[in-house]
């Protein structure tokens, strides 16, 4: 049959049971344990901030869609805005005022996502854009961390008190505490040796479980790891980015630690501290802003890992996941341009494969 192109619907007429809302939903499900842990550990203010951030993200998304003249419902229902707000909230100091979350969401949704053309079009990870912008603009609010004050524990602020923390102007100096990364960094800066610093702030158990000061959703390495493995199992993400990124950090940390154990912390410390796990499983793996080929993902993740280590160790900030991911996001188009799978029946240069022994018999 001389088949002309069917303008009609083409196959396939079966579809894997996947959809964008499902993808986003599963990521949120994977984030849930670490999130709940964060809320329990940091109390009501953390919950308020979490809710405020996500609400702001939803509102910003709806408003942008309306302005752009796109249908609001289907796009809002895809879950991407909620996820962006969620991820942003995870990276904020848990007792930050509500407007930090709100401004962050606005930046993430409007500036980092919708201005680029909406879902799928953004070059940079919206949550990380917002985090970095906030960090630069509001350094004080973004670096005021609290020691864990679990819900219903003796000293934890109550419902109303917490409202004052999140929505008021009340400070919370009584509870303030530095993150492990920040503390170690400061102490190292003052010329102390690691053997003197580490024992008092870093325990291998507390670091893994997450009963330390830190961003709302970043402290529990174990729960994040569990969530990440769940995502790999569900095939939402593949192992390539998280394993490569963590592997790169671990290798660098090991090498430097071996060279000078008094000034360079070991791999375990780097893996469980700060945003390493959240970054490796949930941020760097962001589908939109990471390369689409496996090899590209490996290159991308190795770059992320390298930058994270370099920033943490030698640059001006104690934590570098957000910067690292953004820098590598900028490389994604380049990576995708140069790293492509080999086309079936062609060699790497795109020429048809030739086999010496199967020459055509001349007719």
Partner 1 sequence: MKLFKIRGGVHPDDRKQLAAGQAIESLPMPALLHIPLQQHIGAPASPAVRRGQRVAKGDLLAQGQGVISAPVHAPTSGRIMGVGSYPAHHASGLSVPTITLQPDGEDRWADHIQGVEDPFALEPEEVAARVAKAGVVGMGGATFPAAVKLNLRKRYRIHTLVINGAECEPYLTCDDRLMRERADSVIDGIRIMAHALGVERIIVAIENNKPEAQAAMAVAAADDSRIRIARLPTRYPMGSEKHLVQTLTGRETPARGLTADIGVVVHNPATAFAVHEALRFGYPLVSRVVTVTGGAIAQPRNLRVLLGTKVQDLLDHCGGFRVDPERLISGGPMMGQPLPSTRVPMVKGSNGVLALTVEETNEREPMPCIRCGSCVQACPCGLVPLEMAAHTRVGDLEGAVGLGLMDCISCGSCAYACPGHIPLVQFFNYAKGEMAARGRAKQKQAETKRLAEQRTARMEAIKQAKREAMAKRKREMAAKKKAEAEKKAAAEAQGGQEGQTDRPVRSASETEA
The site for partner 1 (CB under 8 A) is made up of: 1-20, 22-23, 74, 78, 80, 118-121, 287-294, 297, 336, 340-346, 352-355, 358-361, 363
- CB nearer partner 1, residue 189 or residue 345: 345
Shortest separation between residue 293's beta carbon and partner 1, angstroms: 6
Shortest separation between residue 14's beta carbon and partner 1, angstroms: 4
Shortest separation between residue 266's beta carbon and partner 1, angstroms: 34
3-state secondary structure of 195: helix
Q: Are 284 and 320 in contact (CB under 8 A)?
A: no
- CB nearer partner 1, residue 258 or residue 343: 343
In 10 A of CB 2, how many CB atoms?
3
Shortest separation between residue 231's beta carbon and partner 1, angstroms: 12
- CB nearer partner 1, residue 211 or residue 293: 293
Give the tokens for residue 339: 């790293």
Shortest separation between residue 217's beta carbon and partner 1, angstroms: 22
Strand partners for 176: 146
Strand partners for 346: 352
- CB nearer partner 1, residue 121 or residue 204: 121
307-312: long-range contacts (C-beta < 8 A, 24 or more apart)? 308/245, 308/249, 308/276, 308/279, 309/248, 309/249, 309/252, 309/253, 309/270, 312/181, 312/185, 312/270, 312/274
- CB nearer partner 1, residue 202 or residue 282: 282
Closest CA to 60 of 121, 113, 23, 129: 113
Phi-psi region of 229 (alpha: psi -120 to 50; beta: other; left: phi over 0): alpha
Can you state the percent helix, strand and coil of the chain, rounding each to 5?
60, 0, 35
Measured between alpha carbons, how far is 96 from 233 in angstroms, rounded to an integer?
Answer: 34
- CB nearer partner 1, residue 200 or residue 357: 357
Q: How far is CA 267 from CA 34, 181, 202, 260, 287, in A?
A: 22, 13, 13, 13, 27
- CB nearer partner 1, residue 136 or residue 361: 361
Shortest separation between residue 138's beta carbon and partner 1, angstroms: 30
Shortest separation between residue 359's beta carbon and partner 1, angstroms: 8
- CB nearer partner 1, residue 141 or residue 336: 336
Shortest separation between residue 353's beta carbon and partner 1, angstroms: 5
Cis ω for the linkage preceding 163 (within 30 of 0): no
């Amino acid at each position: 049959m001389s088949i002309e192109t069917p303008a009609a619907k083409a196959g396939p007429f079966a579809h894997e049971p996947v959809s964008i809302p499902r993808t986003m939903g599963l990521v949120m499900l994977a984030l849930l344990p670490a999130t709940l842990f964060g809320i329990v550990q940091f109390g009501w203010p953390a919950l308020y901030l979490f809710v405020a951030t996500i609400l702001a993200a939803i509102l910003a998304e709806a408003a942008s869609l309306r302005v752009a003249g796109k249908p609001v419902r289907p796009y809002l229902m895809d879950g991407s805005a909620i996820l962006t707000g969620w991820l942003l909230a995870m990276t904020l100091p848990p007792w930050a005022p509500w407007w930090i979350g709100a401004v962050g969401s606005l930046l993430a949704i409007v500036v980092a996502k919708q201005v680029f053309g909406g879902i799928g079009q953004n070059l940079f990870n919206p949550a990380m854009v917002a985090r970095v912008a906030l960090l630069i603009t509001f350094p004080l609010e973004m670096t005021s961390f609290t020691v864990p004050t679990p819900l219903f524990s003796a000293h934890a602020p109550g419902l109303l008190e917490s409202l004052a923390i999140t929505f008021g102007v009340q400070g919370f100096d009584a509870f303030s505490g530095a993150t492990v990364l920040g503390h170690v960094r400061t102490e190292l800066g003052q010329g102390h040796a690691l053997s003197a610093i580490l024992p008092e702030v870093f325990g291998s158990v507390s670091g893994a479980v997450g009963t330390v000061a830190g961003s709302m959703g970043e402290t529990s390495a174990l729960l994040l790891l569990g969530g990440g493995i769940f995502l790999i199992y569900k095939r939402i993400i593949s192992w390539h980015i998280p394993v490569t990124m963590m592997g790169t950090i671990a290798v660098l940390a090991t090498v430097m630690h071996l060279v000078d154990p008094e000034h360079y912390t070991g791999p375990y410390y780097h893996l469980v501290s700060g945003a390493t796990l959240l970054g490796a499983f949930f941020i760097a793996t962001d589908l939109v802003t990471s390369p689409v080929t496996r090899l590209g993902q490996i290159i991308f993740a190795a770059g992320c890992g390298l930058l994270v280590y370099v920033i943490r160790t030698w640059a001006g900030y104690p934590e570098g996941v957000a910067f690292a991911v953004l820098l590598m996001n900028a490389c994604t188009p380049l990576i995708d341009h140069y790293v492509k799978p080999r086309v079936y029946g062609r060699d790497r240069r795109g020429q048809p494969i030739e086999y010496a022994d199967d020459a055509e018999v001349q007719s």
